[in-house]
């Protein structure tokens, strides 16, 4: 069996690829560039953009199983760019599955599809989609997830996974940015609360995807559903941030800014970046302020029951692995 992984060179995509190759599956990756690490694993690489439908259709040819992992992430940017990658790109992947007879699709979604800026404590998959979004990423991911669920048929079984805040050795986003800002002395605790959040160690997130694929069929209870995925260990957000910093021997965050001041600062930065068309993204956005000041942890009962999902790597063990990786890489 040949398995397609969109975004196979990314953080989560490459972890899924390694598990697939370890069990003997032939793997094809679809990404915008080639990755030497995938060549070393014997992965067939196809270059292209998710918005390029002919390229996506070619990548799907001959594949029975597709992991659609690739997406445009982040808290800032033009809506059109997010829509092309996340909504149109997902529609193209679904079209490729239908055209070439793929029978299973595992889609990587996000818990942010149900986030409206309020605490989410112990919620399950019955939580409705948000009615208002403060960023283009969750808005377009919600649209894409609904496309995936509607595409579930007797010929193409689909399932959506919602892993929350994936981290671990090799993380190119969350941990490196946190460490860089910590070293520069730019981090501030926001507000007086230290709300609990769920996170997902990278190995657990990747294994959840393979479990979902193996349980997925048109007649299984998994088909057409979405599942929250995490480590199942909610931690206070600033305690966890300090643990990440400690892995790189960076002092903990002690300086503080009020939640109101953070919201005003974020609004000002958004206006400045928009008005002057500055490159990159603002160091603070209103969406990010809400993310850092609300509780977000999830009931994993459905994933444990239907997927057989059990997080194998605890947060403590993951932190030890992260610390060793950072020290070995200098």
Helix (H) or strand (E) holding 68: strand 65-68
**CA-CA-CA-CA dihedral for 315, 320, 323, 326, to nearest 10:** -90
Q: Which two tokens stand for residue 150?
A: 């509607």
Task: Give 182-189 contacts, CB < 8 A, sequence gap 24+.
Answer: 182/245, 182/248, 182/250, 182/251, 182/253, 183/248, 183/250, 186/283, 187/241, 187/253, 187/255, 188/253, 188/255, 188/256, 188/257, 188/262, 189/238, 189/253, 189/254, 189/255, 189/256, 189/257
Q: Which residue has the tokens 């609904």?
A: 146
Active site residue 107: no
- Catalytic one among 35, 75, 107, 137? 137
Q: Which two tokens stand for residue 271?
A: 């206006």
Q: Which two tokens stand for residue 260?
A: 């109101």
DSSP 251: P
Rounded Cα distance between 281 and 134, Å, is 15
Q: Which residue has the tokens 């919602």?
A: 162
Residue 242 phi, psi (nearest 5) = -65, -35
Across the beta sheet with 65-68, what order do the strands follow? 44-47, 26-31, 2-6, 65-68, 104-108, 157-163, 225-229
CB count within 10 Å of CB 234 equals 20
Smallest Cα–Cα separation from 135: which of 73, 88, 75, 72? 75
Catalytic residues: 137
């Amino acid at each position: 069996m040949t398995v397609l992984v969109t975004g196979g060179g990314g953080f989560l995509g490459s972890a899924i690829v390694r598990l697939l190759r370890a069990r003997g599956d032939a793997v094809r990756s679809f990404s915008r560039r080639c990755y030497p690490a995938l060549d070393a694993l014997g992965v067939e690489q196809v270059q292209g953009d998710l918005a390029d439908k002919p390229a996506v259709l070619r990548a799907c040819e001959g594949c029975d199983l597709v992991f659609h992992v690739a997406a445009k992430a982040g808290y800032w940017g033009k809506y059109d760019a997010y829509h092309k990658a996340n909504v149109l790109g997902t529609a193209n992947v679904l079209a490729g599955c239908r055209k070439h007879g793929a029978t299973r699709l595992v889609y990587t979604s996000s818990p942010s599809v149900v986030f409206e800026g309020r605490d989410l404590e112990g919620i399950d998959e019955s939580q409705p989609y948000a009615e208002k979004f403060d960023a283009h990423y969750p808005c377009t991911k919600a649209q894409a997830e609904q496309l995936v669920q509607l595409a579930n048929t007797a010929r193409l079984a689909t399932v959506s996974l919602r892993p929350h805040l994936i981290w671990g050795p090799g993380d190119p986003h969350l941990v490196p940015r946190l460490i860089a800002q910590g070293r520069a002395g730019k981090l501030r605790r926001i507000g007086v609360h230290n709300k609990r959040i769920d996170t997902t160690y990278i190995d657990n997130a990747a294994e959840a995807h393979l479990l979902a694929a193996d349980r997925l069929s048109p007649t299984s209870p998994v088909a057409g559903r979405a599942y929250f995925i995490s480590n199942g260990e909610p931690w206070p957000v600033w305690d966890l941030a300090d643990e990440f910093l400690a892995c790189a021997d960076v002092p903990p965050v002690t300086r503080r800014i009020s939640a109101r001041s953070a919201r005003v600062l974020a609004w000002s930065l958004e206006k400045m970046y928009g008005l002057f068309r500055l490159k990159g993204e603002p160091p603070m956005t209103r969406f990010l302020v809400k993310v850092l000041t609300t509780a977000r942890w999830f009931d994993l009962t459905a994933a444990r029951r239907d997927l057989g999902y059990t997080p194998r790597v605890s947060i403590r063990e993951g932190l030890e692995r992260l610390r060793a990786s950072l020290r070995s890489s200098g």
